Amino acid sequence: MYRQILISKEDRDFQRIPWRFSPHDPIQEFVLNTVMHLAEDEKFSYPSPSLGNLLRAEITV
């Protein structure tokens, strides 16, 4: 299960993501209104158990 947290309006400027879909596109800026994280008790089924462990240990969204 994912938990979703609403970010207060005064803190949303700190949640900006520059993005472009290809090197030729102009950079767009996205501002996040929420952040999500995985609840500790949830288990995932990945094709490779080591991949699942790596994702849980190294990636923060």
Through-space distance between the first and last CA atoms of the chain, rounded to whole angstroms:
14
Give the pTM: 0.47
DSSP 10: G
pLDDT greater than 70 at residue 61: no
User: Structure tokens of 60?
Assistant: 């923060």
H or E segment at 22? Answer: none
Q: Please give the pLDDT value at position 9.
A: 92
Collect contacts of 38-41 with beta carbons under 8 A, ≥24 apart.
38/1, 38/2, 38/3, 39/1, 39/2, 39/3
Question: Per residue in 43-57, pLDDT tens?
Answer: 555 455 566 666 666
Q: Please give the pLDDT value at position 37.
A: 73
Q: Which amino acid appears at position 4 of this protein?
A: Q
Question: Per residue in 2-24, pLDDT tens?
Answer: 678 899 999 998 889 999 999 99
